[in-house]
Structure 1
Amino acid sequence: MNYESWTIHPDNFIRFSPTVLQTNNFDLSKDLQHLIVQSKNTSSNSPVEVIFKDFRLATLTGIFQTDSLLADGTLNGVFIINDMATQPNFTTDLSIKNLTVNGDTIGDVHAIIDNTKAKVFAINIALTGRGNDVSLNGNYFLKLGGKSSMDLVLDIKTMQMRSLQGASLGNIRDSKGHLSGKVIIGGNMVSPDIHGNLEFFQTSMVITKLNSVFKVDNGQILAIDNKGLKFNSFTIKDVKDNRFTINGSAFTKNYINYVFDLRLRANNFQPLNSTRADNQAFYGKIIFSTDMRISGTEKAPVIDGRLKLKEGSDFTIVLPQTEPGLVARDGVVVFVDKDAPVNDELFYSVLDSLNSTSIFGMEVSVNIEIDKKASLTLVIDESNNDHLKLKGEAILNGGIDKSGKVTLTGTYELDEGTYEMSFNLLERRFNIQKGSKITWSGEPTDGNLNITAVYTANTSAVELVQDQIVEAKTDLRYRQELPFEVHLSMTGPLLQPVLKFEIKLPKESLIRIGGEIAAQIEMRLQQLNAEPSELNKQVFALLILNRFTSQNPFESAGGGINAESMARQSVSKILTAQLNKLAEDLVSGVDINFDIVSSEDYTTGTMQNKTDLAVGVSKKLFNERLNVTLGTNIVLEGGQQNSASGNLGASNAPNVNIEYLLSNDGRYMLRAYRRNKYEGIIEGYIIETGVGFVMAVDYDKFKEIFRKKVRNRSGRRVKTTDQTESKPETPPLNEPEKKQSPVINNERKDEDEN
């Protein structure tokens, strides 16, 4: 049975006819499970007992369902059939221990049904255990012609929400809280008469596809009567206790067909917090406010109102791919029609899911407003993770007609955003320019793009102009790095946009370099943008190599290695180390640090070496909780760099860094700083001022970040480690103590600050 071997008593028989059913020793068993069918005596009209002993429900459900875990539990009890020859009736006394539905244990069920009285079924069913206490008692009166009636009482003293999870077929998880209430069920199956209330007590659940928490607080009541379901300010809360309120009724006479008169209102409600694992077509975080009305019937609902996507929303839509690709190798052979178009099902099935809904007869008209701080991501090429991340304002109208067709009209005006593209291991980010927009006038996938995005490549113009200007190879002014911009224009249909490139140099950069060089570079860029083949080559070079390429790619005027520069930088490191060694014990209680940085400068048209000396002094106060660092940069060589950039003397402005440890172990720290930084020819020296909060975590394994520290016997806080971890090596004796550098110089890497 169910593909498993069972044994049966060798001395068994079943005799049956239209008026006789007689069995003997029919004992079907496997391990401790028994299914016994046995007549009470040898008479032709003897009652027949069907006895279950430690019988698993999964054995029965597995016969009808491939998933044997649909329902499980241990069944014990007896089902007795009486008066087979005259007026058949039955009685049952069955119990199910640890009833499980889809892997979730509900509790214990005890069912007693007595049909000894003709056409009357006396029902007594109880659910207990796992925090549940539910009973159904009463009578069901069987009558011909559809006039059967009920007189039942459903008494829900406690029904745990987690017990309902299994019945949701995986659509609900992480349920908490419980229900209580009493419902009186009368009338008949065609027109039931139901009265009662269901009250919620600290209930919450997660809708799996949405991955968002929905909560119902104490005192929320769902009223039920012979007219249907009534909602009186029935409030659902999200994870941050923002409210979604339902008012109105769902009228019904048979609890199958409904007429709606509902009003839904919400403010900053979060119904969606999903990832790609939850839904591959669309996912993310949605926060909205709404005021909607629902009317019509369950077959033809009418939804009208407004919806505003609020700040904090970050929603991703994966556009269907026009070419199928290999997702995984599962060892499954699939036979396909080779005469069919290669992309007919893979492409259009996803496309239809975005442009239509499986619910027909619905009429929806919703005014949609998008806050300028809400983020929308369109995944254009999922295999390469090419995507548009957009922020802006929109006023749209979304609709669904009775055929299930989805429409969207309006304009999405973009304030900012990025277009990120990948090429093998390289990733490039284009910044979307303000004024770009997406316009819809039909299906959501039929949007029209008008987007301009810019990628900035800091490089020299030598390879760009050396084939037209001979002296570019020798005139070192062309070696100066400039912020060249690659403009990407995306126009046309959303699914098949037209891409166009253009290379520009910002006007402010042209003004700063000025003179003949600026004119020559601008003229060369105009020529380049008029030649698509050459333009595409240079765009490719800027995106991949972050530089221009000459007509002869093996000749590169700006790619050589300057041996002197390399030597100077190495010497700078040696000098820095020696100065720091001399300063270690210069002043007691004060840390002094030096740093020498060498670089090259082409601002004047000739190569000049630029050398800066950074000096820093650090002092710890208040039991080493407060650390004050003062530093400055002194130009030793190439000082005219300051005047060329317009920030004369800025390099000598002092650097200040103040750090205060909020905790003794230094895990949490406040920082205030003022830094003098050199940002290149255009910006020159700038002064950056800010404050930050720093959290430092010391860990050997990633999971240790979230593990609490414990105290050893001496009271000292130490990290907890796995027993399987090896003991750390003992540091060698007389190892010099590492000193923290107090210098804040131009070349220092900024730390992450939040």
Structure 2
Amino acid sequence: MKLVMYTSMSQNTITPSFEWKTLNSNGTSGNINLKCLLYGPENKDHIADLHVYPSNFTILDTLWSVSSSDIRLKQDGIHISPLELRQGEQFISIHNQDSYNSPFLVTINGMEISHLQNLLNFHPVEFSGNIYGTMSIPSRLSEQPMIPLGITVRNFHFQDGDMGTLHVTGSWDNTEKRINLDAMTRQSQHDSLKINGFVDIADNSIELNFSPRYTSTEFLNSWLKGVLGEIKGTVSGQLQLKGPLDSLDLYGRVVLDTLRFTPPVTNALYTMASDSIFFEEGKIIFEDFLVHDTQHGSCVVIGAITHNKLEDFGYDLSFDANNLLAYNHSGIDNNDFWGTVYADGNGRLHGNTSTVRADLNLSPKYGSNFYYNSSETENASGSEYIYFHNGETQDKSLGITENKQIENFKDNSSDVYLNLTANINPNAQIVIYTDRKTGDGLYLRGNGPIDISWHNKGKFRINGLYTTTGGEYHLTIQDLMKRNFQIQPEGYLRFSGNAKDGDLNLKSIYTVHSVSLSDLNIGQNISNATTNVNCILNFGGKANNPQVTFDLDFPTAGDDMRQTLQSAISSQEDLNMQMLYLLTVGRFYTYDYETSSSASAQNQSVLAMQSLFANTLGNSLGSIIGQALHLNNWTFGPNISTGRLGFDDMEVGGQFQGSLLQNRLQLSGNFGYREQNTYANNFVGDFNLRWLLNPKGTISLNAYSETNDRYFSKSSLSTQGGGIMFQHNFNKLSSLFRKKKTKK
């Protein structure tokens, strides 16, 4: 504190003036002017008269006024005319009656506790509230001071936690030179907090015993909100706050009656009940805490929060999760990544207020979905990932770049380090949007250990091989038509550091059913036949610059027919044109209209329009069915396709694909009816069943039944089969047969 005194003296009169200012930011400043008249020995019982002039002082930025007052000192006591410190409706006044030996009456009306803390520079813990009450102090210095009963603190808060109304009684222990306190606060009839102890004036120390009963845990937010989010609940038990005022500590044990919190990192709501927290010197200890989420998952937490006299907080917590909701962020804030992830595994969270470290080893469980928005519409003229146009094809990047969330984290003063080993399996769906608005992108399921390291002020690194077991690629053509390509197994994404340099090797197929071959004009003997056509998209190259190529396959055609069709579509330009036509109209493109009759050309245009209408109707029905059933793990695709004669020989059917029993049983197939004489069976009923025998899906049972569609075959209506499939990734042939060494 900086204190300056100016004074003048004349005979037996002193006129001092004081100015002061504390150096800390929570202190006070001001001035006070006095006039003191001293009496000589001839006035045996009269010592001095002191006059206080009106003045002002500040506590923080709050201005207080000091009223004028007269103070008379005599041998038998002190007399004070009303002396008042006031700020608005808040005031403290002190005075006594005319008698010099009558006690001083101190009245407190609405004074904020925090103002007293600032005056005393006492901030190891924070209190707030408005004090009301009176205090009686003897005017004779030799008498024992008394502390009155009945002080009330309204709107009492401890560490910003609402504690209700506090009632305090106290007394002065003249022998120990300390103030004994007894208090109780409550918010309702069902809770209470009893406080007893003392403030030692001689040793400048404190010892307060807290006995909470269903007391709100809101006060914990000031210490733990940054790690656990907003904490809500109640506690019971015994807690002691003791030590010198500048180095307090907590001791005791409290039981969590109920506790709810949502950590910002996971954004998932967790609950706890009936677990104990132990307070020791410099530690808050958690032993076998059982934490539940809202989806029947759980984890066990052990560890401690450390501190240095209620400052410099740190933490070291370990957990073991069982189907825990480990990540629950929505995409409504336009974040680049979000999702819902359920996981088994373990981890460790440690650090302090300036550094957060998370070491995690997790395996996703059924129902997990993780989304990444790679579209960069602000940097591109359009959001289409694949363009169809004349000439060479153009590709756009998947846009795997350092995202907005990471950039925002870099503005945080704290250092955040994340080390994650994700043992990804088909339980988790990974979605990489190329256009979030239309839903275009890769919807992947697969296997692979992925190691991720990230520092919010450094780099994002990812290593590992992700091998696909299935999924879809959603493509919107000119904002009108949606086509869902099936991702084939054994594709991969390989990362070795920078996510943008990841290697891609993915194959996706969209099947157009019952395409008429008459449009290709490749022979009268097969003009009445139809075949299924697989439109293939191959993704290769790097994640930040993928190469997309097209291809066509004819799964229901024989070897001779396949060779004939491939010869008819020989050039890359032909392939691109047929791909576009098949995806949009559902038919092959017919060449050489100029050599055809006008009637034939007109007929081809009518058939194309009928086919386009039928395809659009089929896709619209698929969207309606998907929205009505609300089945995330199932897709349905009604199919309406026209034949050589348009609506006169069209086919009606549908495809389905989905999983049951937590993705262990996978089903797909198609069904329908066709009115054509070239087939031995007009009804179609194909299915494929796959049962995963282990969680990773490397061993499975397969069964299928397929309708024979070959134009020359009428003897066999369908083909059935089954078997067992083993899948294993390896870099060397020797590693395929090598047994893993078990750790001892």
8 A Cα contact 1:113 1:121, kept in partner = no
1:159 aligns with 2:215: yes
C-alpha deviations, 1:553-575, integer Å up to 9, x for none?
9946544269999xxxxxxxxxx
Give the residue type in structure 2 aligned to 1:317: Y
Q: 1:113 to 1:463 in 2, by over 3 A?
A: farther
> 1:481: Cα distance to partner?
4.2
> 1:504: Cα distance to partner?
0.6
8 A Cα contact 2:90 2:110, kept in partner = yes
Give the residue type in structure 2 aligned to 1:198: V
Which residue in the other structure is 1:134 paired with? Answer: 193
Give the residue type in structure 2 aligned to 1:455: Y
Q: 1:599 to 1:139 in 2, by over 3 A?
A: closer
8 A Cα contact 1:120 1:141, kept in partner = yes
8 A Cα contact 2:447 2:469, kept in partner = yes
Give the residue type in structure 2 aligned to 1:200: L
Which residue in the other structure is 1:431 paired with? Answer: 486
8 A Cα contact 2:356 2:414, kept in partner = no
> 1:93: Cα distance to partner?
4.0
Instruction: Name the CA distance, whole Å, in 1 between partners of 2:411 and 2:508.
Output: 33
Give the residue type in structure 2 aligned to 1:502: F
Which residue in the other structure is 2:283 paired with? Answer: 228
> 1:424: Cα distance to partner?
1.9
Which residue in the other structure is 1:383 paired with? Answer: 437
Which residue in the other structure is 1:283 paired with? Answer: 338
C-alpha deviations, 1:33-64, integer Å up to 9, x for none?
x6678786999xx98866349x9x9xxxxxxx
Q: 1:521 aligns with which of 556, 565, 568?
A: 565
What is the aligned-residue identity percentage? 16
Instruction: Name the CA distance, whole Å, in 2 between partners of 1:377 and 1:26.
Output: 66
> 1:106: Cα distance to partner?
4.8
Q: In the TM superposition, what are the counterparts of 1:369-408 in structure 2 within 5 Å? A: 369-400=423-454, 404-408=458-462
Q: In the TM superposition, what are the counterparts of 1:544-563 in structure 2 within 5 Å? A: 544-550=584-590, 555=601, 558-560=604-606
> 1:213: Cα distance to partner?
3.4
Instruction: Name the CA distance, whole Å, in 1 between partners of 2:647 and 2:334.
Output: 58
Instruction: Name the CA distance, whole Å, in 1 between partners of 2:314 and 2:225.
Output: 27
Q: In the TM superposition, what are the counterparts of 1:649-688 in structure 2 within 5 Å? A: none
Instruction: Name the CA distance, whole Å, in 1 between partners of 2:327 and 2:709.
Output: 45
Instruction: Name the CA distance, whole Å, in 1 between partners of 2:650 and 2:418.
Output: 69
1:215 aligns with 2:271: yes
Q: In the TM superposition, what are the counterparts of 1:413-562 in structure 2 within 5 Å? A: 413-422=467-476, 423-444=478-499, 446-458=501-513, 460=515, 465-466=520-521, 475=524, 477-478=526-527, 480-494=529-543, 496-506=544-554, 508-511=555-558, 514-515=560-561, 518-527=562-571, 530-531=572-573, 535-550=575-590, 555=601, 558-560=604-606
8 A Cα contact 1:362 1:404, kept in partner = no
Q: In the TM superposition, what are the counterparts of 1:603-622 in structure 2 within 5 Å? A: none
> 1:160: Cα distance to partner?
4.0
8 A Cα contact 2:410 2:456, kept in partner = no
1:287 aligned counterpart, secondary structure: strand
2:570 aligned counterpart, secondary structure: helix
- Choose 1 or 2 for highest CA Rg: 2
- Could you state the TM-score of these two structures normalised by the residue count of structure 2? 0.56
8 A Cα contact 1:270 1:286, kept in partner = yes
Q: In the TM superposition, what are the counterparts of 1:567-606 in structure 2 within 5 Å? A: none
> 1:294: Cα distance to partner?
5.5
Q: 1:521 to 1:363 in 2, by over 3 A?
A: same
1:270 aligned counterpart, secondary structure: strand
Instruction: Name the CA distance, whole Å, in 1 between partners of 2:296 and 2:423.
Output: 23
8 A Cα contact 1:96 1:109, kept in partner = yes
Q: 2:239 aligns with which of 173, 183, 193?
A: 183
Give the residue type in structure 2 aligned to 1:526: S
Give the residue type in structure 1 aligned to 2:109: I
Which residue in the other structure is 2:255 paired with? Answer: 199
| Residues 248-257 or 222-231, more deviating | 248-257
Aligned length: 525
> 1:295: Cα distance to partner?
6.1
Give the residue type in structure 1 aligned to 2:299: F
1:51 aligns with 2:109: yes
**Bigger fraction of residues in strand:** 2
Q: 1:477 to 1:201 in 2, by over 3 A?
A: same
> Any stretches of 5+ residues in structure 2 without a counterpart?
1-52, 58-63, 69-82, 99-103, 115-127, 382-400, 595-600, 612-639, 652-672, 686-704, 721-744
Instruction: Name the CA distance, whole Å, in 2 between partners of 1:172 and 1:296.
Output: 14
8 A Cα contact 1:311 1:371, kept in partner = no
8 A Cα contact 1:208 1:278, kept in partner = no
1:15 aligns with 2:54: yes
Which residue in the other structure is 2:362 paired with? Answer: 307
Instruction: Name the CA distance, whole Å, in 2 between partners of 1:79 and 1:542.
Output: 91
Q: 1:436 to 1:687 in 2, by over 3 A?
A: closer
2:269 aligned counterpart, secondary structure: strand
Give the residue type in structure 1 aligned to 2:557: L
1:96 aligns with 2:154: yes
1:560 aligned counterpart, secondary structure: helix
Which residue in the other structure is 1:368 paired with? Answer: 422
8 A Cα contact 2:610 2:642, kept in partner = no
C-alpha deviations, 1:304-333, integer Å up to 9, x for none?
56322233322222336262699xxxxxxx
> 1:415: Cα distance to partner?
0.7
Instruction: Name the CA distance, whole Å, in 1 between partners of 2:646 and 2:67.
Output: 111
8 A Cα contact 2:514 2:641, kept in partner = no
Instruction: Name the CA distance, whole Å, in 2 between partners of 1:27 and 1:485.
Output: 86
